Amino acid sequence: MGNKSKKATNDSDQDVVEKKFKRKVIIFRLLSIINIGLGLNYISWRYTHSLNMNALWFAIPLVVAETYSVIDMLLFTFMMWKPTRRTSLKPFDCSVDIYITTYNEPLHIVKMTAEAARRIHWKEKRIFILDDGNRKEISDLAKQTGCGYITRGAEWVGKQRYAKAGNINNALMQTNGDFILVLDADQIPSPQIIERCIGYFSDDQVAFVQSPQYFYNTPPGDPFGSDAPLFYGPILQGKDGWNSTFFCGSNGFLRREALLQLGLTDYVKNTEKQLRQGLNRLEKDIRKTTNLGNNDKAALAQFHKKINEARASLDAGQSFEKVAEMVHIAFREIQNTVNLNDIDSIIKDLSALDTLGDQKAGEIKEKIASQKMEISREIGKETGAQGASGEALQDFSLTRASEAQPILPMATFSITEDMATSMRLHAMGWKSVFHPEVLAYGLAPEDLGTALRQRLRWAQGTIQVLAFENPFLKKGLTFPQRLEYFTTIYSYFNGFFNLIFLLAPIVYLLTGIPPVSSWSTSFLWHLIPYLVVNKIVFRYLAQGIPVYRNDQYNLALFPVWIQAIISVYFKQKLTFHVTAKERQNIIFVKEVWPQIAIVILTLISFAFGIHTYLTGTMIPLPGLLVNIFWGCYNILMLSGIITAAFYQPPSDWHASPPEFSV
């Protein structure tokens, strides 16, 4: 077949796929409209017709949890409304730096990635191993494989290191490729990864391109729920439709210019913030200073005036350098005036002694009086050297003195730096791309403990974004972008509501008190169609993607999500745990005690409920059946994580690294 006819066949294949995709979107929208109608009908009926007014302590938490779920469904529908289906664009000449980030991963893992990176097809590429562990064997590996080796320099000693974000920021100042491909130490890239993704940057508004993260070591059945094909597929395609896909830390490309611009504007904003804080602090100190002599009071008033002038200059758009200089001069002046006043008072005392006949005092007085200015200057120098002025003026240094680097392009306020950085880039007007093709495979956690710690870090980082840079308040984001970032954050709040869903059947079966006014057919007629259509929509969207494990973990991880929120809002110190790449051979019962407790309580409540039904009238048959069904569903959903705690991989199973065709 000639080239032309081959191209024509490819084009027509593409057309078929495109048509299929469009049809899928239209069907999804139609199903979603029905789903929204049923959901809103159900929740409004719950509020207006079915609350058990005699047990509001129970009825209200349940209806609030249901409301949360309906809002979740609305946000999800919005997210999926206009997904993208990207195909690679033509590559263009440019230089790409490949960063392999590592901290404590074993040598053989880093080696596989470095060797795979060398096989990537691209002329102008430079590979750097960013070793935050500063290990000799990794430095030797870099030499052997012809990669650059970057580790933190002396400027980081005694300064905040910011884990992976700091590692990348450090490297950014030492390399100069047009684009950066970030690979976690375990992510083995395909040789085509650059060719397939770089073309998107021909739109010079695109700041980053993300490709999926898949794993080659997921044991059969994915017991720890590591695979995320729904996220690295339909969900990011949905977000991409609203230009709000986010950088996921690995297997993504970043435009150097965009990152540095972000770092620079962040530096300016932070410096201004620090200047304003400094001015406020000085003003507060002035107000607190009392018990002064009249002369010093006048000097302080003058200093206060100068501080206000500096603030007015800052408001008027004067350069920070000039404002800082104004404060430095004012500070030197007040120091000098106070010193001179002190010297005058000493001279006065010496004069008094002189009058009383102390000749020596008279001589000293003359000497001091003749050298007043010099002495004052010396005292000023001395106090400066002791740090008094240094401390007072530290906010006016313009150097971000507490940081190792003035420019920190990767956001450092959240332990999920990737999402925070994406949001800042979007707020600056940059675009993003999700390329759905799998171009690298890495290692997922191999035991439940590690998997849970990883989920906790993601959740904590995401909640930090809400706590410190609320997307609804962030300037520059479009409304859909705000909503998209909020949707991600919102999903991590489901821990509290899932706990209510897990406890509700237990409470009913143990007490006989229903959260609804009755378990009537009307109740089932409102609920069941909504639940069924909701499931259909989700399954339709996930066509061909296994979602059962995802459903299980979504409900079962409630303690992790609750812990994440509590730790952020109660300011517990959060640390970036590097995800262990090797299996810890222990059983993780301690990690799943809340889930085990819920299962045991549910089983007890079944027995109690059946007994109550058989021996009295407190629990009617519909109530018993609905709640036993509900409880069984909960047990089924929790069973995944509980069995994962005891999981041992089959003895004949082992992970095989991917083999890409060259």
Q: Which is nearer to other proteins, 279 or 299 (CB)?
A: 279
The least distance separating other proteins from the CB of residue 271, rounded to whole angstroms, comes to: 6
As a whole number of angstroms, the distance between CA 240 and CA 322 comes to 44
The least distance separating other proteins from the CB of residue 112, rounded to whole angstroms, comes to: 30
For other proteins, the binding residues in 405-434 under the rule CB under 8 A are 405-407
The least distance separating other proteins from the CB of residue 481, rounded to whole angstroms, comes to: 21
Longest dimension (CA), the chain: 121
Q: Which stretch binds other proteins (CB under 8 A): 104-112, 113-121, 260-268, 439-447?
A: 260-268
Q: Which is nearer to other proteins, 385 or 536 (CB)?
A: 385
DSSP 231-258: IIIIIHHHHHHTT-----SSSEEEEHHH
The least distance separating other proteins from the CB of residue 65, rounded to whole angstroms, comes to: 45
As a whole number of angstroms, the distance between CA 644 and CA 224 comes to 6
Q: Which is nearer to other proteins, 192 or 261 (CB)?
A: 261
Q: Which of 192, 261, 389, 567 binds other proteins (CB under 8 A)?
A: 261
- Backbone phi, then psi, for 46, in 5-degree steps? -60, -45
Residue with tokens 């019962």: 589
Q: Which stretch binds other proteins (CB under 8 A): 106-114, 129-137, 267-275, 481-489?
A: 267-275
Whether 178 and 255 have beta carbons less than 8 Å apart is answered as yes
The least distance separating other proteins from the CB of residue 175, rounded to whole angstroms, comes to: 9
The least distance separating other proteins from the CB of residue 484, rounded to whole angstroms, comes to: 26
Return the closest-CA partner of residue 120 out of 217, 203, 202, 197: 197
Query: By CB under 8 A, is residue 398 in contact with other proteins?
Result: yes
Q: Which is nearer to other proteins, 206 or 503 (CB)?
A: 206
Give pairs for 617-621: CB < 8 Å, separation 24+: 618/512, 619/508, 619/509, 619/512, 620/519
Query: By CB under 8 A, is residue 386 in contact with other proteins?
Result: no
Query: By CB under 8 A, is residue 124 in contact with other proteins?
Result: no
Q: Which is nearer to other proteins, 393 or 467 (CB)?
A: 393
Residue 649: partners with Cβ closer than 8 Å, 6 or more residues away: 219, 220, 446, 583
As a whole number of angstroms, the distance between CA 644 and CA 638 comes to 10
The least distance separating other proteins from the CB of residue 392, rounded to whole angstroms, comes to: 16
Q: Where are the alpha helices (DSSP H) in 146-224?
A: 163-172, 193-197
The least distance separating other proteins from the CB of residue 322, rounded to whole angstroms, comes to: 5
Q: Which of 166, 234, 263, 559 binds other proteins (CB under 8 A)?
A: 263
Q: What is the SS3 assignment for 492? A: coil
Query: By CB under 8 A, is residue 2 in contact with other proteins?
Result: no
Q: Which stretch binds other proteins (CB under 8 A): 355-363, 401-409, 507-515, 614-622?
A: 401-409
Return the closest-CA partner of residue 216 out of 239, 245, 237, 186: 186
Buried b (16+ CB within 10 A) or exposed e, 196-217: bbbbbbeeeebbbbbbbbbbbb
Query: By CB under 8 A, is residue 392 in contact with other proteins?
Result: no
Q: Which is nearer to other proteins, 320 or 496 (CB)?
A: 320
The pair of three-digit structure tokens given for residue 377, joined into one six-digit string: 């200057």
Phi-psi region of 543 (alpha: psi -120 to 50; beta: other; left: phi over 0): beta
Query: By CB under 8 A, is residue 399 in contact with other proteins?
Result: yes
Q: Which is nearer to other proteins, 205 or 584 (CB)?
A: 205
The least distance separating other proteins from the CB of residue 129, rounded to whole angstroms, comes to: 19
For other proteins, the binding residues in 304-343 under the rule CB under 8 A are 317, 319-322
The least distance separating other proteins from the CB of residue 44, rounded to whole angstroms, comes to: 48
Q: Which residues bind other proteins (CB under 8 A)?
A: 173, 176-178, 256-257, 259-261, 263-265, 267-269, 271-272, 317, 319-322, 397-401, 405-407
